[in-house]
Amino acid sequence: MLKPSAFALAAVLAVTGLAACGSDPWAGREDRMAERTYETMRLADIHRAAIADPLRPADEVARDQFRQPDRMLAFAMLEPGDRVADIRPGAGYFTRLFARTVGETGKVYAFVPNRTAERENARADALVAAYPNVLRVNGDLDSMGFPEPLDVIWMSQEYHDFHIPAFNTDVTRMNRAIFAALKPGGYFVVVDHSGRPGTGHAEVQSLHRIEGASLRAEVEAAGFVFDGESTALANPADDRTVNVFDEAIRGRTDQFVYRFRKPG
């Protein structure tokens, strides 16, 4: 009988022989797995460096425990060189993280809607002044455009607002504009406050919540493919019946995180 070592040698020779004739379906598998592992580790280091950015204000850093920036960056699959738009960036919590992640070869477009530009442009301009790869863009939400095709469009806790009549936005057209702005294979990532099943967007103004299933259906109708979700911001203790600004739940609402992909 062959000893175990001989069996192992025979197996290696057999695999080598298969690889030599090009018929081994596992050829290079370990190398590919190692490459993916090292790439994941590399991106994790980049994301950690972005989170440790000394330019991040202390009040934003204090919110990390609730906003899970490491998991959000990983879910958005951002990497150096990417072109990303942060829709209505506010004070810039995510814009800063994106700027450090995409690096000098990337670009971050801080998109400020015309509807709120008078009070929000100054904050976006402060981000532009702090990060050379950030550019402010203004426009109407339902016809937004950018200087170049994008890898990722990010919208955090904003989608529900655009259903509020005061925003005067055609959400169907907005989703189509986002679809058109992305490269084939690009991603649209949406974070929002969860509404109860069956409420659709009926409580976007009263509670500032939207039902995840309703939002997903609207985005998919624009041509997107649902590409995954994260439970990083889920909070089962939130019964989703109170306004998100209520101090009893503010900053700790149950939130869904969806990633949609433009086919191609």
Question: Looking at residue 192, which CATH number applies to its domain?
Answer: 3.40.50.150
Write down the pLDDT at residue 43: 85
Write down the pLDDT at residue 20: 43
Average confidence (pLDDT) over 78-88: 96
When pLDDT is cut at 50, 70 and 90, the band that residue 18 belongs to is very low
Residue 242 lies in a domain: yes
What is the Cα–Cα distance from 66 to 99, expressed in whole angstroms? 21
Q: Give tens-digit pLDDT for 156-189.
A: 999 999 999 999 999 999 999 999 999 999 999 9
Residue 6 lies in a domain: no
Across the strands, what pairs with 154? 86, 189
Cβ neighbours for 25, distance < 8 A, ≥ 6 positions apart: none
Average confidence (pLDDT) over 106-129: 97
Q: Order across the sheet with 134-139: list the strands.
A: 134-139, 107-113, 83-87, 150-156, 182-193, 255-261, 225-230
Residue 17 lies in a domain: no
Question: Which candidate, 199, 225, 224, places its Cα nearest to that of 212?
Answer: 199
Residue 11 lies in a domain: no
Residue 39 lies in a domain: yes
Q: How many independent structural domains does the chain possess?
A: 1
Token look-up 């175990």 returns 4
Instruction: Record the tokens describing residue 240, joined without a space.
Output: 């989703």
Residue 211 lies in a domain: yes
CB 97 within 8 A of CB 69: yes
Residue 4 lies in a domain: no
Question: For the stretch 148-160, what's the b/e string if a residue is b when 16 or more beta carbons lie within 10 angstroms of its beta carbon?
Answer: eebbbbbbbbbbb
Q: Give tens-digit pLDDT for 32-72.
A: 566 666 677 788 899 999 999 999 999 999 999 999 999 99
What is the Cα–Cα distance from 101 to 92, expressed in whole angstroms? 14
- pLDDT higher than 80, residue 192: yes
Q: Which domain holds residue 52?
A: 29-261
What does pLDDT average to over the chain? 90
- pLDDT higher than 50, residue 222: yes
Residue 16 lies in a domain: no
* Other CB atoms within 10 A of residue 44 CB: 13
Across the strands, what pairs with 137? 111
User: Averaging pLDDT over each range in 19-23, 34-38, 111-115, which range is the top one?
Assistant: 111-115
More confident call, 78 vs 1 = 78
